[in-house]
Structure 1
Amino acid sequence: MADIAPKQTGGGYGNIRATIDVDKLNAFLAKNTSAIKAPVDVKQFTFGQSNPTYFLRDVDNARWVLRKKPAGQLLSQTAHQVEREFRVLDALHQHNQNPNTRPDQKVPVPKPILLCEDVSVIGTPFYIMEFLEGRIFIDSRMPDVSSHDRRECWLSAVRSLAALSSIDPASIGLSNFGPPTDYFPRQIKSLSRVSAAQAAAVDVETNEPVGNIPLHDELLNWYRNNLPDESKLGRRIVHGDYKLDNMIFHPTENRVIGILDWELSTLGSPLSDFANFTMPWSIDPKDLPSSATPSTMRAFKNTTEGIPIPIDDLEREYSRLLKQPYPIPELVFARSWNLFRVTIIAQGIAARYARRQATSEHAHLHAKTFHIFGNFAQKVLQDAGITVTSKARL
C-alpha cells in the first residue's frame, strides 16, 4: 500500500466508497491508543476485493491502515474475519521480535496496533496496523523492473512463504487457530456449502442468480476420492490467499517487507499456499477471456513471454527450504483444488457484486469471469493424465 508509481504498483487510495463514521473512529482512537494521534484523515484503498481497507493519516503525519468487515448481511460467516487477521498478525509479529528467531525464520508482516470488536464504533469490527512504505505489484509479470529484480522478488516471496510454512503453530500460540483435522477435507466441506449459497445469490437489478461453477459436482467428487497425505509436511499456518499482490516489497530492495490480507488464514497444508502463489503457471494464456487484465488474472503456462522466473526454480527452492523431494507429487491435487477454491472466491465476489456489497472497483470483472476457473482446475488434472468430465444431464 505504497505512495509510488501506480504503473508498477498497487495500493492507491481515494474517496471513501464504504462509508464509516470518522467522528466515532476518532473518539475511539483518542480514548484507546496513544500510538495514533487523533483526529485522523481517512481515505479508502482502491485495490482489494473483500474487507474494506482504509488509509489513515494522523495529526503527526504518521500513516496507518484500517481493515474492517463489510457492512450488511454477509453470505459467509467464515469469511471477513478481521479478528483472526489481527490474531495471526500479532502472533507473527511477536515471533519476529523474539531474539531467538533467526532472520531467515522471520515472516514479514505489518505491526498490528489494535483490534476493536465493538460494532457501535464504525458499524463492524476492525483493526489497525502500521502502514508500510513499499511496492505492491498488481501485474505479476512486473514489467517495469529488470529481469534480475523480478527473479529476486519472486524468490524472496517463496522464501517468506517457506518461513511461514516452517513454523510450528503451537510455538507462537496458534495451536488452536484451526481445527485439528486435515486441511483439504475441511476446505472441501466448508467451501462447497459456501459455493451453494453464493450460486443462489440474486442480482438486485436483473434478478438473475449468480449460478454454479462448471464441473462443480464432478470435481468435488474427484477431490474427495483423491486426498493427499498431509502428514508429510504437518499442520502449519496457512495464509489462504498467498500471492504476489498481497505482498509489499521494499521500495528499493528485492525483498518482501509485509504480507497482507490474512482473513482466510488457518492451520493446514502449506502446499495450498504454494499452489496459490504459483497459480499463473497453471493457466494457459490462450484460455483467458478477452476481458482478463493483469489486475484480475495472469497466465504463464506454455509460454515464455513475460515470465518472471521459471516455475521449476520456485518449486526447487521451496522444496529445498522445506527439505522435501523435488518435484512434490501432491502439488497436482493442490494446484487443481486451489483453482477450484479461487473459483469459489471469485464467485463470492460475483455474489457480493450482485448484492452490491463488493468493495473493489474491479468487482464487476470477477462477476463476468469467475466461471472459467472451474475449467482451469480440470485442465491441471488433464495435464497429469487424469480425466474429469461433465455428467450427462437428463
Structure 2
Amino acid sequence: MPPVPPKNSGPVREAHRFDEARLDDWMAGHVDGYTGALQVCQFKGGQSNPTYWLADREHQYVLRKKPPGKLLPSAHAVDREYRVMRALGDTDVPTAIMYALCEDDSVIGTPFFVMEYVEGRIFWNVQLPDLAADERPAIYEELTRVLAAIHNVDLAAVGLSDFGRPDAYVARQVKRWTKQYLASQTTDVEQMKTLIDWMPANIPDDEATTLVHGDYRLDNLIFHPTEPRALAVIDWELSTLGHPLSDLAYTCMLYEVTLPKLGGLAGVDFQATGIPTEDAFVARYCELVGRDAVPDLNYYKAFSLFRLAAIAQGVYKRSLDGNASSPEASMFGAAVPHFADIACSLAGIG
C-alpha cells in the first residue's frame, strides 16, 4: 500500500506548482531506491522555502526548493541547507538523511534538494500545552542539548571550516539584515530606524565562532513519537559560522514575546508548568558548552528580534508580490513594529 500524505500537507498551491513528471524522471536517476509512482503534496508551513511531501510506492521524502519570482540576494540558500545537514550526519546533531541536491533550474524551475521524511512530533507551541508538567522539562533539556551539540561541532572534522567567515559575524549580520529589511521595506517603522542606528554602534566585543543554526527554536526540531528525543533539526537555511550567543538569544527571545502559533513564555508560571526559567535554560546551556557566563545577552536578543522583524517584512513583501509560501503571509506586516518595539525595550533605547 502506498504511503499516505501527512495531515499537515495538502494540494500544491497554484503559485508553487511544477512539472511533476520532470521531477519523477529526476528522482529515478538521482535518489537511490526510488520506485516511481510519484506523489506530491505541499506542507502548510515553509514561509521561506516551499516544502513538499513526496512519496514513491514505498518511501516518503521531503523536498525543499527556492521559491519562484524575484528573490533577495543571498536568501533561500537551499544548497547551504543541503550541505550542512549532509555534513552533520555522523555528529551528535540529529539530522535527516540527505538524498540529492539539484541546482538545475530546468527540472522544476528553481534549485531544490530531497531528504528523508522523518516521522515524529513537532511542538508548535513553546508552552507544550499537550504535555503534562512532568514531561516538559525533558523536552527543554533536549532543546538545550541539541543547541549545545550544534555549537560543539568540530568544524574541520565535518568539512565546514569554510562554511562562513570566522570573524565579525555580528557586524556582518547587522549589515545583512539591515540591507534585507530595507530591500523589502513597504512603509516607515520608526523603531526599525532606531535599531538600525543603534546596533552597529553597540556590538559586543566577543569574537567566539561556531556553527550556528540561525533559526533555532522548538518547532524546528522533530521529536521521537513517544520519547523526549530529537530525531532531526530542520530549516537550516540561515546556518553559517557565527557567534553561538546569537542562536541562544534567538531561542531565549520567546521569554519576551508571544508569536502566532508558537506562543511565548512571557508571564508563564515556570514552577507549575515544568518549563525552565530563562536563567535556568541559559545556565544549562553554559554547562553543556563550557561557558562561564553569557555577557550582553540582551544585545543578542534585541538583534534577534530585529532580524525576526526583517524576516517578517520580507514575508509580507512577498505576499504583496504574490510569491509567499503561505496564505497567512499577509499577516506578517503588523509584526514588524511589534518586534522592533520589544527589541528597543531590551536595548534600553527608543
TM-score of the superposed pair, with normalisation by structure 1: 0.83
**Correspondent of 1:66 among 59, 63, 66:** 63
1:236-256 Cα shifts (integer Å, max 9, x gaps): 111110011111011000111
Deviation at 1:33, TM superposition (A): 2.6
For the residue of structure 1 that corresponds to 2:74, the secondary structure is coil
- CA separation of 1:174 and 1:213: change in aligned 2, threshold 3 A: farther
- Structure 1 unaligned runs (5+)? 7-11, 97-105, 200-209, 286-291, 383-387, 390-394
- CA separation of 1:322 and 1:42: change in aligned 2, threshold 3 A: same
Q: Distance in 2 between matches of 1:138 and 1:303?
A: 17
1:235 aligns with 209
In the alignment, is residue 346 of structure 1 matched against residue 312 of structure 2?
yes
Deviation at 1:146, TM superposition (A): 1.1
For the residue of structure 1 that corresponds to 2:137, the secondary structure is helix
**Correspondent of 1:322 among 289, 294, 297:** 289
Matches within 5 A, 1:328-339: 328-339=294-305
In the alignment, is residue 294 of structure 1 matched against residue 255 of structure 2?
no
**Correspondent of 2:229 among 255, 271, 292:** 255
Matches within 5 A, 1:144-223: 144-199=130-185, 210-223=186-199
1:92 aligns with 88
For the residue of structure 1 that corresponds to 2:101, the secondary structure is strand
**Correspondent of 2:32 among 18, 34, 37:** 34
**2:142 counterpart letter in structure 1:** S
Q: Distance in 1 between matches of 2:331 and 2:34?
A: 37
1:80 aligns with 76
Q: Distance in 1 between matches of 2:264 and 2:119?
A: 28
**1:257 counterpart letter in structure 2:** L
1:304 aligns with 269
1:140 touches 1:294 (CA, 8 Å); kept in 2?
no
1:298-337 Cα shifts (integer Å, max 9, x gaps): 33224427673221221111011111124x1221111111
Q: Distance in 2 between matches of 1:275 and 1:230?
A: 15
More displaced, 176-185 or 153-162? 176-185
Deviation at 1:181, TM superposition (A): 2.4
1:17-48 Cα shifts (integer Å, max 9, x gaps): 11021000001111223232223100000112
Q: Distance in 2 between matches of 1:307 and 1:353?
A: 38
Q: Distance in 2 between matches of 1:23 and 1:36?
A: 14
In the alignment, is residue 115 of structure 1 matched against residue 101 of structure 2?
yes
Q: Distance in 1 between matches of 2:274 and 2:238?
A: 28
Q: Distance in 1 between matches of 2:42 and 2:5?
A: 16
2:36 touches 2:56 (CA, 8 Å); kept in 1?
yes
Q: How many residues align?
A: 343
1:52 aligns with 50
Q: Distance in 2 between matches of 1:281 and 1:180?
A: 29
For the residue of structure 1 that corresponds to 2:264, the secondary structure is coil
Q: Distance in 2 between matches of 1:361 and 1:151?
A: 34
Q: CA RMSD of the aligned region, Å?
A: 1.9
1:47 touches 1:361 (CA, 8 Å); kept in 2?
no
Deviation at 1:112, TM superposition (A): 0.6
Deviation at 1:220, TM superposition (A): 2.4
Deviation at 1:370, TM superposition (A): 2.5
For the residue of structure 2 that corresponds to 1:128, the secondary structure is strand
Deviation at 1:64, TM superposition (A): 0.5
Q: Distance in 1 between matches of 2:209 and 2:341?
A: 29
1:246 touches 1:261 (CA, 8 Å); kept in 2?
yes
2:32 touches 2:99 (CA, 8 Å); kept in 1?
no
**1:340 counterpart letter in structure 2:** F
1:214 touches 1:375 (CA, 8 Å); kept in 2?
no
- Structure 2 unaligned runs (5+)? none
Deviation at 1:4, TM superposition (A): 11
**Correspondent of 1:359 among 310, 325, 328:** 325
2:5 touches 2:53 (CA, 8 Å); kept in 1?
no
For the residue of structure 2 that corresponds to 1:370, the secondary structure is helix
1:204 aligns with none
**1:368 counterpart letter in structure 2:** A
Q: Distance in 2 between matches of 1:278 and 1:5?
A: 30
Q: Distance in 2 between matches of 1:141 and 1:129?
A: 29
- CA separation of 1:73 and 1:196: change in aligned 2, threshold 3 A: same
Q: Distance in 2 between matches of 1:59 and 1:304?
A: 48
Deviation at 1:5, TM superposition (A): 10
Q: Distance in 1 between matches of 2:27 and 2:343?
A: 45
2:126 touches 2:264 (CA, 8 Å); kept in 1?
no
TM-score of the superposed pair, with normalisation by structure 2: 0.93
Q: Distance in 2 between matches of 1:87 and 1:278?
A: 27
Q: Distance in 1 between matches of 2:149 and 2:32?
A: 32
Q: Distance in 2 between matches of 1:253 and 1:111?
A: 20
1:102 aligns with none
Q: Distance in 2 between matches of 1:349 and 1:37?
A: 36
1:240 touches 1:273 (CA, 8 Å); kept in 2?
yes
Overall identity of the aligned pairs, in %? 37
